[in-house]
Every structure is written in structure tokens, then in C-alpha cells.
Amino acid sequence: MGQVYLINSLQYAGYALELSLLVLLLSPKRIRRFPALCAYVAVQLGVDALGRVWVLHHYGYRSSVYFYSYYASDFLLAVAVFLLVCTFFRRACRHHQKVWEFIRPILMWVLLLVIGISVVAVHNNFRHLFTTRYIFEFNQDLYFVCLVLNTVLYLVLQRFKAGSDLSLLVCGLGVQLAGPAAGSAFAALVGKGTILTYLSPICSLAMMAIWMYAITRKQELEHNDDSGAPKSKGTGHRRRISRADLVAPALQLEPVIIGGRSQRIMAAPGNLNAGYLHG
């Protein structure tokens, strides 16, 4: 009984974080900055928190309808994760067009490869298509592809020295993808799948928390934006100009360093003007 309460608590806490994150993303400023993330969170909330819960309450946990809808929705979420990674790639390469032209066909070929393997796997396992083992492994392979792409994306961000908000979004998605993958590997070695019951909702909570921090934290002054492109010179820090720096060029004064000290005397050619002594 305590295990059931713990699982339900983690599950409803995840729903609350998803809803809170979606409310934050729907603000005009954030929805323009994170449109793909907003769409993904809306899909995940609609599929996971609304669709699955509705089917569960109407048909029951042991019904075939809930069984088919659960794994079909899991496949839909895997495709949504793949599209989200693609949009993150596009945002990271916003100011590196040649890199994006190199990565874009690779992403297309990866998608076609996944579709091709899926068609062959469905054809060869049509009789066992709706067994728990086959569907679980099928969706697990899709998430693994997304995990590899997300890891490559993180390396690209480090190469471009991109902004920290996009890096946090990618790290949060990596937590969500790497946690269940590690749990599945551990379950395959040990022979017990109980760890997946807790690890998946915990990783989902961690991802939502990281994303909430990424979109709500105070933006600091940086020389680079999300894609690592340098900002224009007019938007940087203002340089403080002293009074002597304004007067000296007009009077043709030149700085003279005395004794290696930080103080200096502005001197005209042939005359020293002690009036321009400053620190």
C-alpha cells in the first residue's frame, strides 16, 4: 500500500510541475523564446496527464484499451522528443548555417532509418506486435536514438559556447532520457524491473524542475546568445571615460608614466601640465 501511495505521489507531482511549466511558458515573452518547448510540454501534458488518466478511469488498468493506448501514446511522446531535439539543434546552429546544413540531412536520415527499421520490425513481428515485451523494446530503442542525438547536441553546444539556458534545457532532457535507459540496463542485468517504477517519474520531475529553472532564472549579461554568436558591440558594457581622457586629445596632451606607478601626468609636447594629474 505504501508503494502505491509513493508512486501516485510522484505521478501527480509530475502532473503539477508539467501544468506549472506550461503556464509559465504561455506568457507572451516566453512563448516567443521557447515555442518548441511550449508545444512539447503541451503535448506531454495532454497525452500523459489527460489522455492516459481518462482512459484509465473509464476502462480500468487491466483493460486492453488502456494497454494499447498507453504504448501508442508512448510512441507519440518518443516522436515528440525526437522533434524537440531537432528544434534544439536548429536553435543551437542559428548563427552557424554551414553546421546546420551538415546536421539537417543527418537528422532526416536518422528519422528515415528509424522508420525503416520500425517497418521491418513490425512486419517480422506482426503476430507478437501487441505483446508487452515487443512494444516495450520498440519504444526503448526510439528513446535510445533520442538520447544519442541529445548527447551529440550537448557536445555541439559546448563547442559553440552557447547560452546557459539552452544548455540547461538539453541537460534536463538528457536526465529524462538517460535515467530510464540506465534503469532498463540495470533491470536487464539484475532481473528486476522495480527500479523503473520509481526512476522514470523521478527523472521526469528532475527534468521539469531543471526546465522551470532555465526559463525563470534571471538572465545575466553575456557576450554570447543561445547559439554562441557574439552580440553587437553596442549592447555590451559601457566604458567609463574620465574627464582627462576627454580634455587631453583636444589639447594634444600625452600620458607620461612616472616611476611605474599607476598615476599619470598629462603632458603637452614640451610642457608638463600638473593640473591633469589623476588616478
Give CA separation, 139 vs 83, 145, 258, in Å.
15, 10, 74
> Beta strand 264-268 with 254-257: parallel, antiparallel or unpaired?
antiparallel
| pLDDT tens track for 14-62 | 889 999 999 999 998 899 989 999 999 999 999 988 898 899 888 888 8
Euclidean distance between CA atoms 260 and 224, whole angstroms: 36
Higher-confidence position of 119 and 209: 209
In order of start, what are the domains of the chain with their CATH numbers? 2-216 (1.20.1070), 240-276 (no CATH)
Higher-confidence position of 180 and 237: 180
Positive or negative CA dihedral for 94, 97, 99, 103? positive
Rg of the chain's alpha carbons, rounded to an integer? 28
Determine the Cα angle at 42 with ends 38 and 44, to 5°.
Answer: 120
Residue 266 has pLDDT above 50, yes or no: no
Map grid coordinates 559556447 to a residue: 161
Minimum mean pLDDT range among 29-43, 176-190, 206-220: 176-190
Give CA separation, 167 vs 9, 15, 36, in Å.
29, 24, 15
Q: What is the pLDDT of residue 269?
A: 46
Residue 173 has pLDDT above 80, yes or no: yes
Residue 152 has pLDDT above 70, yes or no: yes
